[in-house]
Amino acid sequence: MQQKEICILGGSGFVGSAIVAKLDAAGCLVKVLTRRKESAKHLILLPNVQVVECNVLDYMALSNAIRGADAVINLLGILHQSRRVSFNLVHQQLPAHLAKICEDLSIKRLIHMSSLRAGKNAPSQYLRSKGAGEVALAAHQDALNITIFKPSIIFGRGDSFINLFANMAKILPAILLAKPNAKFQPIWVEDVASCFVASVESDATFGKTYELAGPKVYTFRELVQTVMTTLQLKRPIIGLNDALSYAQAFMMELLPVKLMSRDNIRSMETDSVSDMPFPTVFNLTPSALETVIPQYLVDQTPRGAYDRFRRSAAR
């Protein structure tokens, strides 16, 4: 059988890297589009992966880059907008143009990443723009085989969410936690990647939208507590009320490195929890957070650091 060529936007990122590795292992030819080759250097050694520099927001360049692909995966997403790059541009206009380009080039398969609770009545600009992207794609459903995934928060080695709180717990005497009662249903990045890869050739997923959520619902406070328990750390978690949550996020927006914004807090006004069972078409039981995070946080515990030292000393 001829090798499928899959072109992937956002393939250098946290979720993208997991999907690229699985596509590579499945024998697909994978073309990763990135603004800077450096960002995808960890993928270059994979045998079936080609990394191509491309500004995907330049639609001529995008068209040239995806020409000839059998399927396109779009993972482009930002958590914070800037003066140059807005949510609307990345989450709505880009998918709309991408679908049009796919139609023009007769690329029939498009798999798109949205977010759980995205929609026009969502509380944050991030979620509303992701919802607008879904609507933009709906206009192409007749011409293209589109699948949309809507995950809750995603965890796994290299994530920014669990690792952020792990790092905070290590250096701070207490955690001042915004929106402590916000709810999440975290899903493992490898499970998300399996669903993407399975859907590439599964006709049953054409034209469908899937919510992806893990086996358990956590409040934000419970999640941070689970991280600390894994790291064997004891720090008080001080939950902030709404006014203080927004004030804290406002202060964080002033920092050079964006960790949290008021829009992120608005996203937490709605529970990132799915009302649906995990989609049976993927034949997968999602992994529990408690079984996975020790695999990548363990080196950060005192015992883990000792074991790592012993390993590096070959003892």
Ligand X SMILES: NC(=O)c1ccc[n+]([C@@H]2O[C@H](COP(=O)([O-])OP(=O)(O)OC[C@H]3O[C@@H](n4cnc5c(N)ncnc54)[C@H](OP(=O)(O)O)[C@@H]3O)[C@@H](O)[C@H]2O)c1
Q: State both tokens at 33.
A: 């589009």
Q: Determine which residue in the list 99, 153, 260, 265 makes contact with ligand X, applying CB under 6 A.
A: 153
Q: Determine which residue in the list 13, 133, 214, 279 makes contact with ligand X, applying CB under 6 A.
A: 13
> Which one, 57 or 259, has the nearer CB to ligand X?
57
> Which one, 15 or 122, has the nearer CB to ligand X?
15
- Shortest distance, CB of residue 54 to ligand X, whole angstroms? 8
Pairing of strands 5-9, 71-74: parallel
Contact yes or no for 209/150 (Cβ under 8 A): yes
14 binds ligand X (CB under 6 A): yes
For residue 136, the one-letter residue type is A
Give whole-number Cα distances, 304 to 18, 52, 79, 158, 248, in Å: 24, 38, 32, 17, 33
| CA 207 – CA 235 distance, rounded (Å) | 47
> With CB under 6 A as the contact rule, which of the stretches 73-81, 134-142, 296-304, 305-313 interacts with ligand X?
73-81
- Shortest distance, CB of residue 85 to ligand X, whole angstroms? 4
The site map against ligand X for 74-93 (x = CB under 6 A) is: -xxxx------x----x---
95 binds ligand X (CB under 6 A): no
The site map against ligand X for 161-200 (x = CB under 6 A) is: x---------------------------------------
Q: Which of 221, 231, 205, 222 is nearest to 293 (CA)?
A: 231
Pairing of strands 145-151, 154-155: unpaired
98 binds ligand X (CB under 6 A): no
DSSP readout, 89-150? IIIIIHHHHHHHHHHHTT--EEEEE--TT-STT-SSHHHHHHHHHHHHHHTTTTTSEEEEEE
Q: Determine which residue in the list 3, 25, 27, 35 makes contact with ligand X, applying CB under 6 A.
A: 35
Those residues whose C-beta lies under 8 Å from the C-beta of residue 98, and which sit 6 or more positions away, are 9, 62, 66, 72, 74, 110
Q: Determine which residue in the list 15, 99, 132, 249 makes contact with ligand X, applying CB under 6 A.
A: 15
- Shortest distance, CB of residue 155 to ligand X, whole angstroms? 7
Q: State both tokens at 145.
A: 């085989």
Q: Determine which residue in the list 8, 30, 56, 168 makes contact with ligand X, applying CB under 6 A.
A: 56
Buried-state track 112-127, b at ≥16 Cβ within 10 A, e below 16: bbbbbbbbeebebbbb
- Shortest distance, CB of residue 74 to ligand X, whole angstroms? 8
113 binds ligand X (CB under 6 A): yes
| CA 274 – CA 214 distance, rounded (Å) | 9
Q: Determine which residue in the list 133, 151, 279, 286 makes contact with ligand X, applying CB under 6 A.
A: 151
Q: Under the rule (CB under 6 A), what is the footprint of ligand X? A: 10, 12-16, 34-35, 39-40, 56-57, 75-78, 85, 90, 113, 115, 151, 153-154, 161
